[in-house]
Homo-oligomer: A and B are copies of this chain.
């Protein structure tokens, strides 16, 4: 049985404004019915696999757990990184975790933010690769290129392996080429795009890592040895993991090992590395527009339009990406999408929140949409899932007012417990201990009006928290 290892640690800024640091690409529904993480897990249906190991940033733990729960695939093995250290350490953590019970499973290492349209071809490639990975090859999935892309690294194949023309020894890995070089690669027929997906035995990977980057292995061993476990979550020791070098698995192992094998994959793959890449793989109308949400177009061609709630009207334009979210609008030429990172850099430099979070944010108990934010008051539209709860807490600087729009809440204020239901409201004075729980079967929707001289997120004193937050 394969052990899927899903790397969900990215904080991609190239799909801003939909992707934000606190809610990046892998958690978005960008293509297909589910989020990219969920699609990644669902894509394994039909294979003989164990429960996946998911590696993510600790800021995203509730997102990962909630998205897996939604598709009934909640994993008991979610490894939380306090900081990102790239793929070589991430895979080492998963491998160390996998061998801790004395086994040596075959790992299928996947990114949580790739699209693969042809699941059957993907499963076929896995089947081709399995016997070689079992016999201690390090298999990488090489994407059959559809054009001279300069945004990907390439893999040159060597001699054929076995008796089917799908597996080859890896001759070399090459960096992102210029356009001329990429053209030559395509012409030669010997090159694949480097997908960043792999298959190998856990112990084999660790052996190779020990050979080429023992420092990374040691740091990961220490971080695991000093980790704590909390339900499904493995919390790494922060200092140990901070000390780990930041390195990709390609640099650390794959380019150095003599045992790399590439399996050919022709399955409608995309790493969705930009808005134009998403346009490439999206369904389009007769004028080549890919549209999601409430849009009106007239005399418009080759555009990608995505809007979450507001009407977008595009008139007389072409080759544009137009993305509208609750707090930002992006308009960019489809050939200039690599510059989207400029706006994210600008927002970071200005210490504005729009690079980090959406107006709507996801919490372990549900979600909160900041509909009004002013100097002296905020209004949040809050949804608490059935069974979800605010921990018992207190604020030094703000009073709160809750008005229930639908559903029922169990409220405790200064020890007094009562139910609050549709169209009822309550007031929480500054300094009062309070908690809220949704004891019902339907979501609890309420408006939270915060007022006071200081409204920062950090004015919260928690007595106890069912989600293990400070």
A contact set with B: CB distance below 8 Å: 17, 296, 298-299, 307, 310-317, 320, 322, 324, 326-333, 335-336, 339-340, 342-343, 346-347, 352, 354, 371-372, 376-377, 379, 381, 399, 401, 403, 405-406, 422-425, 427, 447, 449, 451
Contacts and interface: CB of A to CB of B under 8 A. Distances in A.
Nearest to A359: B310
Contact of A377 (B320, B322, B399, B405): B405
Give chain A's interface secondary structure class: strand
Given A320-B331, A322-B329, A329-B311, A406 B381 contact: no
Nearest to A322: B331
B406 A422 contact: no
A310 to B, nearest CB: 6
B406 A423 contact: no
A333 B298 CA distance: 11
A356 to B, nearest CB: 13
Given A342-B298, A451-B423, A332 B311 contact: no
Contacts of A347: 296
Contacts of A381: 372, 379
Nearest to A311: B328
> Copy number of this protein in the oligomer?
2
A312 B328 contact: yes
Contact of A17 (B313, B339, B379, B422): B313
Contacts of A354: 311
Given A328-B310, A425-B403, A342 B320 contact: no
Contact of A405 (B317, B327, B340, B451): B451
Given A313-B343, A339-B316, A342-B315, A449 B405 contact: yes
B312 A331 contact: yes
Given A401-B423, A447-B447, A329 B315 contact: no
Contacts of A330: 313, 315
Contacts of A401: 403, 423, 425
Contacts of A336: 299, 315-317
Contacts of A310: 326-329
Contact of A451 (B329, B346, B422, B449): B422
Nearest to A426: B425
Contacts of A322: 329, 331
Contacts of A312: 328-329, 331
A201 to B, nearest CB: 45
